[in-house]
Structure 1
């Protein structure tokens, strides 16, 4: 596992000369109480993808390969241990940081802590970025993620209305790009320490979003995270009024387009890393849909 210093993200316009701020979140930000502790909503068989059909060829857990833009690319697929092809599952996509990999998300991070919280209630997907990142030139990585989702939906029983994406650093940037362009396939995103540096298309489709960002992040500045948040606030027609949520400093913006809420979790210290509370907050948010 690469040291956290390797997680530093090179700016698309300027390079970061050194890495820092990779320390774990201090105990003051370690509370795991979610803002909205709701149970996962039931998923109806009627909402199932084509992979629920008895005649569909089923995929198995493991590292899979798919061709996108003529390039063979990999992703991890993790099915529940008691996977039931007659049950449509929500799909959660985890996107790695710069110099990280799908192996890190699948193995070391446990999908940023979400796999342990969801247990057997979700299908997890960890794609590999090219050149160990998500630069997304010309929408290349957006097309790859679309291809992965299509393959997973055709080869497993999923609920197409409950596809979510989250990621840290470069993965947070790609989560933002997905939120900007893939509202036709993805319901909500949870960028952590992200920005708009992987692009932000002008799709008319909207997604719900929860953002997590440390104020002392010295690799992806807090202001860059705020810029991404403000883009989604404008897209979702939110007001500037906020309501506090939970015990982790999160706030929800009011007046957003119905079903497209925006939540901001800015916290004082943690450097360029995701806090211990991020998994609980992300799950609580995803479970609203």
Structure 2
């Protein structure tokens, strides 16, 4: 189960980190991974020939997407979509007892460098979130190009917009509760999503991320919770702080913090209405999400 993570292809990686590799530690007993394989489920594979033609995602306008009330046009399994003339794919995980009349929140899990969509949905249960949500959310695991999220020319931003639109048309979702999380390169792409996709994504939860997948200008804002270890030797703690500070400025937060949760996280005060920023900095853990990250992430997402 060991996976190798690399920053060699990060588009905005400082030269000192190019080519650096890290082997995942043997932490399979961590709470983050408990119950990971259980309930990941399987299902039919569908492709773009049986799915609606995606249109650009629009700002949330109601509590139910256009895919509600009708029979699902998408099934749990691998989906295909064309973005910028390139065939892209993502895994869709519907609740075992999917209800066409229930507007589900959508949780997007972005894989790390050298990882894949299948790692996200089969290995650790969408970063430990799926066991916590049970049958009350729809999960998406998109596949990056070249096993990563360089987001060259915002190609991955456009892909994720098309993916969200396709899902909203194909199944019943709540357009006002779309969330994104990811680890390492996936954390970087989560930040890029937060920078540019606040019109369709409500909150992000980057794990050990940075701004190395870009941070385009947008007037739209998102709520954000960040997790980073001080002894991370792949993505420096300071790079995580830079990402946090960008969202503090975007959301007009003050420097005052108050403790939140039970794991040393703090919430910044004075942020724009309904756009909180939470920082979960911890001394040790290296380049790996702590066992508590899923619990803190879900508690944050549940606020919206």
1:60 to 58, 75, 85: 75
Structure 2 stretches lacking a partner, 5+ long: 34-61
1:24 CA drift (Å): 6.2
* Equivalence for 2:51: none
RMSD (Å) for aligned C-alpha atoms: 2.0
* Equivalence for 1:16: 18
TM-score normalised by length of structure 1: 0.90
* Equivalence for 2:274: 259
1:141-185 deviation digits (Å, cap 9, x = unpaired): 000000000000000000000000000000000000000000000
Are 1:24 and 1:275, in contact at CA under 8 Å, matched by a contact in 2? Answer: no
- Corresponding residue pairs, total: 272
1:31 CA drift (Å): 9.9
Give the 3-state SS of the residue equivalent to 2:22 in structure 1. Answer: coil
* Equivalence for 2:149: 134
Residues 219, 166 of structure 1: alpha-carbon distance in 2 compared, 3 angstrom cutoff: same
Are 1:190 and 1:282, in contact at CA under 8 Å, matched by a contact in 2? Answer: yes
1:58 CA drift (Å): 1.8
Are 2:117 and 2:143, in contact at CA under 8 Å, matched by a contact in 1? Answer: yes
* Equivalence for 1:229: 244
1:91-131 deviation digits (Å, cap 9, x = unpaired): 00000000000000010011000000000000000000000
* Equivalence for 1:190: 205
* Equivalence for 2:64: 48
2:191 to 164, 168, 176: 176
* Equivalence for 1:243: 258
* Cα separation, 1, equivalents of 2:80 and 2:221: 29
TM-score normalised by length of structure 2: 0.85
Give the 3-state SS of the residue equivalent to 1:159 in structure 2. Answer: strand
1:47 CA drift (Å): 1.1
* Equivalence for 2:215: 200
1:19 CA drift (Å): 2.2
Are 1:24 and 1:273, in contact at CA under 8 Å, matched by a contact in 2? Answer: no
